[in-house]
Structure 1
Amino acid sequence: MYLFAGLKEQLETYLDSEPVAQVQEAYILARDAHQGQLRSSGDPYITHPVAVARILAEYHFDPQTIMAALLHDVIEDCDVSKEQLAEQFGNQVADLVEGVSKLTQIKFRTRAEAQAENFRKMMMAMVQDIRVILIKLADRLHNMRTLGSLRPDKRRRIANETLEIYAPIALRLGMYGIRGELEDLGFAARYPARYRVLKESVKKARGNRKEIVNTIIETIQERLEADVLHARVLGREKDLFSIYRKMKEKRSSFNEVMDVYAFRVICDSEDTCYRILGFLHSLYIPVPGRFKDYIAIPKANGYQSLHTTLKGPHGLHIEVQIRTESMEQMAENGVAAHWLYKSNNDSNPAELKAREWMKSLMELQSRAGDSMEFIENVKIDLFPDEVFVFTPNGSIIVLPHGATPIDFAYAIHTDVGNSCIACKIDRQIMPLSTPLINGSTVEIITAPGAKPNPSWLSFVITGKARANIRHFLKHLRQDEAIELGERLLERALGEHTLKDFSDDTKQKLATNIRHKSFDDVLAEIGLGRLASIVIAHRLMPKQDTESEQDSNDQKPLAIRGTEGLLVSYAKCCHPIPYEPIVAFVSAGRGIIIHRADCKNVAKHQSDDHKYMPVQWEENIAGEFTVELKIVVFNERGVLARVTSVIADAEANIVNIDIDPQDGVTNILNFTMTVRDRLHLANIIRKVRRHKFVNKIMRSK
Structure 2
Amino acid sequence: MPYFADLKNVLESYLEPKQVADAERAYQVAECAHDGQMRSSGDPYITHPVAAANILAELKLDHQTIMAALMHDVIEDCDVTKQDLTEQFGDTVADLVEGVSKLTQIDFQSKEEAQAENFRKMMMAMTQDIRVILIKLADRLHNMQTLGALRPDKRRRIARETLEIYAPIANRLGIHRIKEQLELLGFANLYPLRYKILKNSVKKVRGHRKEVVERITKQLRERLNESGLKCQVIGREKSLYSIYKKMRDKVGNFHEVMDIYAFRVITDTEDSCYRVLGQIHNLFKPIPGRFKDYIAIPKANGYQSLHTVLRSKSGMHIEVQIRTELMDQMAEHGVAAHWLYKTGTSHHPAETKAREWLQSLVELQQNVGDSIEFIENVKIDLYPDEVYVFTPKGKIIELPKGATPVDFAYAIHTDIGNTCIACKIDKQFSPLSTPLVNGRTVEIITAPGSRPNPAWLSYAVTGKARTNIRNFVKNMRHDEAVHLGRRLLEQSLKKSLDEFREDQLEQITEVTRYSSLDDLLAGIGLGKIASALVAHRLTSDEAEIKEVKDKSQPSEERSPLAIKGTEGLVIKYAKCCRPIPGDPIMAYVSPGRGFNVHRENCPNIQRAHKQNDHYVPVQWADELESEFATELRLHVFNQRGVLAQVTNIIANQDGNIVNVDINELDGDVNIITFLMGVKNRVHLANIIKKLRVIPFVNKVYRYPDIQPKGHKRDEESH
Both structures adopt the same fold (TM-score exceeding 0.5): yes
Which segment is superposed worse, 519-528 or 266-275? 519-528
SS in 1 for 2:167: helix
Q: How do 1:217-256 and structure 2 match up within 5 A?
A: 217-250=217-250, 252-256=252-256
Contact 2:407 2:462 in 1 (8 A): yes
Which segment is superposed worse, 456-465 or 408-417? 456-465
CA-based RMSD of the aligned residues comes to 2.6
Please report how far the alpha carbon of residue 389 of structure 1 lies from its aligned counterpart in structure 2 after TM superposition. Answer: 1.3
Who is 1:273 aligned against? 273
Please report how far the alpha carbon of residue 469 of structure 1 lies from its aligned counterpart in structure 2 after TM superposition. Answer: 1.0
Who is 1:380 aligned against? 380
SS in 2 for 1:397: strand
Please report how far the alpha carbon of residue 226 of structure 1 lies from its aligned counterpart in structure 2 after TM superposition. Answer: 1.1
SS in 1 for 2:4: helix
Who is 2:261 aligned against? 261
Please report how far the alpha carbon of residue 23 of structure 1 lies from its aligned counterpart in structure 2 after TM superposition. Answer: 0.9
| Residues 219/129 of structure 1: CA separation in 2 closer, same or farther (3 Å cut) | same
Please report how far the alpha carbon of residue 115 of structure 1 lies from its aligned counterpart in structure 2 after TM superposition. Answer: 2.0
| Residues 107/221 of structure 1: CA separation in 2 closer, same or farther (3 Å cut) | same
| Residues 196/444 of structure 1: CA separation in 2 closer, same or farther (3 Å cut) | same
Q: How do 1:479-494 and structure 2 match up within 5 A?
A: 479-481=479-481
Residue identity in the other structure for 1:322: I
Q: How do 1:5-24 and structure 2 match up within 5 A?
A: 5-24=5-24
Counterpart CA distance in 1 for 2:158 and 2:274 is 43
| Residues 309/84 of structure 1: CA separation in 2 closer, same or farther (3 Å cut) | same
Please report how far the alpha carbon of residue 512 of structure 1 lies from its aligned counterpart in structure 2 after TM superposition. Answer: 14
Counterpart CA distance in 1 for 2:483 and 2:285 is 67
Counterpart CA distance in 2 for 1:324 and 1:103 is 43
| Residues 524/304 of structure 1: CA separation in 2 closer, same or farther (3 Å cut) | closer
The higher radius of gyration belongs to: 1
| Residues 265/79 of structure 1: CA separation in 2 closer, same or farther (3 Å cut) | same
| Identity value in percent | 69
Q: How do 1:557-596 and structure 2 match up within 5 A?
A: none
SS in 1 for 2:79: coil
Who is 1:212 aligned against? 212
Q: Deviations over 1:430-489 (max 9, x none)?
A: 211122122222111100111112221121111111111111122226442468999xxx
Residue identity in the other structure for 2:275: R
Residue identity in the other structure for 2:190: R
Residue identity in the other structure for 1:397: I
Counterpart CA distance in 1 for 2:40 and 2:394 is 55
Q: Deviations over 1:146-170 (max 9, x none)?
A: 1111111111111111001000000
Residue identity in the other structure for 2:131: R
Q: How do 1:535-550 and structure 2 match up within 5 A?
A: none
Contact 1:261 1:318 in 2 (8 A): yes
| Residues 485/296 of structure 1: CA separation in 2 closer, same or farther (3 Å cut) | closer
Gaps of 5+ in 2: 487-508, 536-590, 593-718
Contact 2:416 2:446 in 1 (8 A): yes
| Residues 286/513 of structure 1: CA separation in 2 closer, same or farther (3 Å cut) | closer
Q: Is 1:392 the equivalent of 2:392?
A: yes
Who is 1:153 aligned against? 153
Please report how far the alpha carbon of residue 104 of structure 1 lies from its aligned counterpart in structure 2 after TM superposition. Answer: 3.6
Q: How many residues align?
A: 509
Who is 1:92 aligned against? 92
Contact 1:123 1:362 in 2 (8 A): no
Residue identity in the other structure for 1:242: S
Counterpart CA distance in 2 for 1:525 and 1:402 is 29
Q: Deviations over 1:244-273 (max 9, x none)?
A: 111111251101111111110111111111
| Residues 522/43 of structure 1: CA separation in 2 closer, same or farther (3 Å cut) | closer
Who is 2:409 aligned against? 409
Who is 1:463 aligned against? 463
Who is 1:356 aligned against? 356
Counterpart CA distance in 2 for 1:306 and 1:524 is 52
Counterpart CA distance in 1 for 2:157 and 2:105 is 20
| Residues 483/256 of structure 1: CA separation in 2 closer, same or farther (3 Å cut) | closer
Who is 1:288 aligned against? 288
Q: Deviations over 1:198-236 (max 9, x none)?
A: 000001111121111111111111111111111111111
Q: Is 1:201 the equivalent of 2:205?
A: no
Counterpart CA distance in 1 for 2:36 and 2:139 is 21
Please report how far the alpha carbon of residue 313 of structure 1 lies from its aligned counterpart in structure 2 after TM superposition. Answer: 3.1
Counterpart CA distance in 1 for 2:440 and 2:119 is 35
Q: Deviations over 1:273-312 (max 9, x none)?
A: 1001000001110000000000111112111000000001
SS in 1 for 2:61: coil
Q: Deviations over 1:119-175 (max 9, x none)?
A: 111111110010000000000000011111111111111111100100000000001
Residue identity in the other structure for 1:295: I
| Residues 512/426 of structure 1: CA separation in 2 closer, same or farther (3 Å cut) | closer
Contact 2:388 2:439 in 1 (8 A): yes
Contact 2:69 2:97 in 1 (8 A): yes
Q: How do 1:672-683 and structure 2 match up within 5 A?
A: none
Q: TM-score, normalised by structure 1?
A: 0.69
Contact 1:224 1:279 in 2 (8 A): yes
Counterpart CA distance in 2 for 1:385 and 1:54 is 32
Contact 2:386 2:399 in 1 (8 A): yes
Contact 1:367 1:467 in 2 (8 A): yes
SS in 1 for 2:23: helix
SS in 2 for 1:198: helix
Who is 1:623 aligned against? none
Counterpart CA distance in 1 for 2:481 and 2:143 is 51
Counterpart CA distance in 2 for 1:346 and 1:210 is 39
Counterpart CA distance in 1 for 2:512 and 2:231 is 78
SS in 1 for 2:394: coil
SS in 1 for 2:234: strand
Q: How do 1:335-374 and structure 2 match up within 5 A?
A: 335-374=335-374
Contact 1:460 1:466 in 2 (8 A): yes
Residue identity in the other structure for 2:70: L
Q: How do 1:68-87 and structure 2 match up within 5 A?
A: 68-87=68-87
Q: TM-score, normalised by structure 2?
A: 0.68
Contact 1:51 1:142 in 2 (8 A): yes
Who is 1:176 aligned against? 176
Who is 1:119 aligned against? 119
Who is 1:440 aligned against? 440
Q: How do 1:602-613 and structure 2 match up within 5 A?
A: none
Counterpart CA distance in 1 for 2:484 and 2:56 is 60
SS in 1 for 2:314: helix
Gaps of 5+ in 1: 487-509, 531-587, 590-700
SS in 2 for 1:318: strand
Please report how far the alpha carbon of residue 181 of structure 1 lies from its aligned counterpart in structure 2 after TM superposition. Answer: 0.5
Who is 1:36 aligned against? 36
Please report how far the alpha carbon of residue 366 of structure 1 lies from its aligned counterpart in structure 2 after TM superposition. Answer: 2.5
Contact 2:251 2:257 in 1 (8 A): no
Please report how far the alpha carbon of residue 398 of structure 1 lies from its aligned counterpart in structure 2 after TM superposition. Answer: 0.7
Q: Deviations over 1:510-550 (max 9, x none)?
A: 999977999958946999989xxxxxxxxxxxxxxxxxxxx
Residue identity in the other structure for 1:293: D
SS in 2 for 1:2: coil
Counterpart CA distance in 1 for 2:105 and 2:409 is 40
Please report how far the alpha carbon of residue 343 of structure 1 lies from its aligned counterpart in structure 2 after TM superposition. Answer: 3.5
Q: Deviations over 1:621-654 (max 9, x none)?
A: xxxxxxxxxxxxxxxxxxxxxxxxxxxxxxxxxx
Contact 1:173 1:350 in 2 (8 A): yes
Q: Is 1:472 the equivalent of 2:444?
A: no
SS in 2 for 1:322: strand
Counterpart CA distance in 1 for 2:78 and 2:141 is 22
Q: Is 1:50 the equivalent of 2:50?
A: yes
Contact 1:159 1:190 in 2 (8 A): yes
Which segment is superposed worse, 171-180 or 458-467? 458-467
Counterpart CA distance in 2 for 1:299 and 1:386 is 7
Please report how far the alpha carbon of residue 7 of structure 1 lies from its aligned counterpart in structure 2 after TM superposition. Answer: 1.0
Contact 1:338 1:348 in 2 (8 A): no
Which segment is superposed worse, 49-58 or 96-105? 96-105
| Residues 247/485 of structure 1: CA separation in 2 closer, same or farther (3 Å cut) | closer
Counterpart CA distance in 2 for 1:241 and 1:526 is 44
Counterpart CA distance in 2 for 1:4 and 1:60 is 16
Residue identity in the other structure for 1:108: F
Q: Is 1:167 the equivalent of 2:167?
A: yes
| Residues 305/435 of structure 1: CA separation in 2 closer, same or farther (3 Å cut) | same
Residue identity in the other structure for 1:365: Q
